[in-house]
């Protein structure tokens, strides 16, 4: 009983102090509180005729505009406006020079401040700003009427508009939107990302076709009117809705084909050096001395260089590598063919010079042999590099999704001039070998040179159409294969038979035996 007494006193005290709350309670539940000081009446309703309030009333059981908390945006905006002015004026009056929010810590003049100087962080953490005209930055909630399972309708926030956001002011969460179901009348469905809208002629504007974007173009929006072109280093994905980085392609040292060609190049160079070692060890034997030992050493050295030139074609191309690659290929092969030409010409002229009043040998001494090696390839390469040098290039024309890193000759005339010059030397060498076919075998390498030149021509005649018709790393691989095949043909046709006699048939490597073979032939 004592507790009830205290509670009744407390309620009466609260009612007296909060007459507004008492009036709200009485009007909402149509009852009369004990000790109420309200004497109001509405129309024929007499306040004193109402039943006493029981104390079991519940605000959840009745509707009142004063207790509706579903639409607080308007009241909250009023709250922000009032408190914003109050806090702003308080901050302006309490601002200390040197600690102000503006440039160099300055403060605004409380008696003459600008609208844009008002910026206050509210209690809920929302930052309120004004523009240069004193207007607040636009912010709107995007609401969606949605039907609940019990049939009631509710407003659900599905996005917002914030003018302060850069670029994308409107933010929508499509996953929470509830679209009205039922019948709908449309001519064409929406075009998904990866396609573009193409209007149908003679039909309403809502009738259109969805055309997929072409390769290299994308559209990432629904009902896009046009497709955007991807940048130079990107390409469209399969769905045509995203640009992805292009893959790069070149003949690498780490792939199987590159490793195989590297091994073949190094093996050929080592084999050439090994044969040089054999020839040096047996330099005093008749077989080595009878075949122009000096030019044989030069030819083997140039063949080793030819094998190593193939390594320049492997790896990621660069401008300096391209400028070295083509001249090195042209000069090394020209020197090899020139050595063969000189060897054949010396033997041929040596026998022709035995005729009366023949002075041709004076044109093919040791100095002339060295001079015959240094032919016009250097001049061709020099003018090539001077006018339009080779350079690295990113080729995107062959396959759109792939960037082919390649070396382009720069000047097609320069590239084909080098090949043509090598071809002229090879034709001259083949002609000389044909003229020397009837000379004694101990001096004559004509058969070996003829066979090697036939292989050389077969390789390079096959190379030309393949080189022109392919692109990417396979073109480079074909070029390296042609270099290696030609070099191996010269090495095996000319020097391997001599090594066979030197190492395995030494009984044939005597002057007397060679003279007898010469007489028998």
| 31-40, 292-301, 374-383: range with highest mean pLDDT | 292-301
CA distances from 203 to 32, 137, 180, 198, 200 (A): 71, 43, 27, 12, 6
Q: Are 293 and 283 in contact (CB under 8 A)?
A: yes
Which position has the higher pLDDT, 137 or 478?
478
Per-residue model confidence as pLDDT tens digits over 221-232: 888 889 999 888
Residues in the chain, overall count: 521
Per-residue model confidence as pLDDT tens digits over 500-521: 888 887 777 665 444 444 444 4
Q: Are 216 and 400 in contact (CB under 8 A)?
A: yes
pLDDT tops 50 at residue 6: no
pLDDT tops 50 at residue 156: yes
Element (H, E) at 188: none
Give every CB contact of residue 295 below 8 A, 6+ residues apart in sequence: 339, 342, 343, 346, 369
CA distances from 519 to 49, 285, 442, 491, 516 (A): 156, 19, 10, 28, 5
pLDDT tops 90 at residue 360: no
Give percent above pLDDT 70 in the chain. 76
Q: For 74, list phi and psi in degrees, rounded to 5.
A: -65, -50
Q: Specify the range with the lowest mean pLDDT, choosing from 33-42, 63-72, 471-480.
A: 33-42
Q: Which CATH architecture has domain 256-520?
A: Up-down Bundle (1.20)
**What pLDDT score was predicted for residue 118?**
63
pLDDT tops 50 at residue 4: no
Per-residue model confidence as pLDDT tens digits over 237-259: 888 988 999 888 888 888 999 99
User: Nearest Cα to 402, choosing from 471, 322, 478, 470?
Assistant: 471
Give every CB contact of residue 487 below 8 A, 6+ residues apart in sequence: 268, 303, 306, 307, 336
Mean pLDDT of the chain: 78
Give percent above pLDDT 90 in the chain. 12
Element (H, E) at 302: helix 293-309
CA dihedral 310, 313, 315, 316 (to 10 degrees): 170
Strands 247-249 and 402-408: parallel
**What pLDDT score was predicted for residue 212?**
92
Q: Where are the domains of the chain?
A: 2-61, 195-245, 256-520
DSSP labels, 18-64: -HHHHHHHHHHHT-B-TT------BTTB-GGGSPBP-S---GGGS--
pLDDT tops 80 at residue 126: no
- Which residue bears the tokens 């059981």? 61
Q: Are 146 and 156 in contact (CB under 8 A)?
A: yes
**What pLDDT score was predicted for residue 13?**
57
Q: What end-to-end distance do the CA atoms of the chain give, in Å?
A: 148
Q: Are 321 and 406 in contact (CB under 8 A)?
A: no
Per-residue model confidence as pLDDT tens digits over 161-183: 888 777 667 888 888 888 877 66
Tell me the whole-structure pTM to 2 decimals.
Answer: 0.58
Q: Helix, strand, coil % (nearest 5) of the chain?
A: 50, 15, 35
| 30-44, 47-61, 450-464: range with highest mean pLDDT | 450-464
Q: How far is CA 278 from the centre of its chain?
A: 51
pLDDT tops 60 at residue 10: no
Where are any strands of DSSP class E within 301-397? 391-395
**What pLDDT score was predicted for residue 357?**
46
Span 302-331, average pLDDT = 89
Helix and strand numbers (H, E) in the chain are: 14, 14
Give every CB contact of residue 235 below 8 A, 6+ residues apart in sequence: 215, 216, 243, 244, 245, 246, 400, 401
């Amino acid at each position: 009983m004592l507790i009830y007494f205290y509670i009744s006193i407390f309620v009466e005290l609260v009612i007296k102090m909060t007459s507004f709350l008492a009036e709200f309670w009485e009007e909402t539940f149509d009852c009369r509180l004990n000790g109420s000081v309200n004497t109001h009446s509405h129309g024929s309703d007499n306040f004193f005729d109402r039943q006493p309030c029981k104390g079991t009333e519940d605000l959840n059981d009745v509707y009142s505009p004063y207790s509706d908390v579903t639409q607080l945006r308007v009241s909250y905006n009023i709250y922000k406006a009032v408190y914003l002015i109050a806090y702003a004026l308080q901050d302006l009056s309490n601002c200390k020079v040197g600690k102000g929010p503006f440039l160099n810590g300055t403060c605004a003049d409380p008696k003459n401040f600008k609208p844009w100087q008002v910026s206050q962080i509210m209690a809920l953490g929302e930052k309120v700003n004004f523009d240069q005209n004193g207007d607040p930055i636009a912010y709107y909630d995007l609401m969606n009427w949605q039907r609940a399972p019990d049939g009631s309708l509710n407003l659900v926030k599905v996005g917002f508009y914030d003018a302060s956001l850069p670029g994308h002011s409107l933010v929508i969460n499509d996953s929470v939107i509830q679209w009205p179901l039922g019948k709908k009348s449309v001519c064409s469905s929406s075009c998904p990302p990866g396609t573009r809208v193409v209007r149908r002629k003679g039909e309403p504007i809502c009738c259109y076709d969805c055309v997929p974007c072409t390769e290299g173009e994308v559209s990432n929006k629904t009902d896009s009117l046009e497709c955007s072109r991807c940048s130079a280093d990107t390409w469209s994905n399969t769905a045509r809705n995203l640009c992805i980085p292009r893959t790069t392609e070149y003949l690498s040292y780490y792939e199987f084909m590159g490793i195989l060609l590297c091994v073949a190049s190094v093996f050929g160079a080592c084999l050439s050096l090994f044969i040089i070692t054999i020839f040096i060890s047996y330099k005093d034997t008749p077989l080595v001395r009878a075949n122009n030992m000096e030019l044989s050493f030069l030819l083997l050295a140039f063949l080793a260089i030819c094998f190593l030139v193939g390594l320049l074609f492997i790896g990621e191309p660069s401008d300096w590598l391209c400028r070295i690659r083509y001249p090195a290929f042209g000069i090394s092969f020209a020197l090899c063919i020139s050595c063969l030409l000189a060897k054949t010409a010396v033997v041929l002229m040596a026998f022709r010079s035995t005729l009366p009043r023949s002075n041709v040998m004076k044109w093919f001494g040791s100095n002339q042999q060295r001079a015959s090696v240094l032919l016009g390839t250097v001049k061709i390469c020099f003018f090539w590099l001077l006018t339009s040098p080779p350079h690295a290039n990113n080729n995107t024309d062959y396959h759109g999704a792939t960037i082919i890193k390649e070396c382009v000759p720069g000047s097609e005339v320069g590239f084909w001039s080098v090949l043509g010059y090598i071809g002229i030397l090879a034709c001259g060498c083949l002609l000389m070998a044909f003229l020397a076919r009837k000379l004694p075998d101990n001096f004559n390498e004509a058969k070996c040179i003829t066979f090697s030149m036939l292989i050389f021509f077969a390789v390079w005649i096959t190379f030309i159409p393949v080189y022109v018709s392919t692109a990417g790393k396979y073109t480079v691989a074909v070029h390296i294969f042609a270099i290696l095949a030609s070099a191996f043909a010269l090495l095996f046709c000319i020097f391997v038979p001599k090594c066979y006699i030197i190492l395995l048939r030494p009984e044939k490597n005597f002057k007397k035996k060679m003279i007898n073979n010469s007489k028998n032939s």
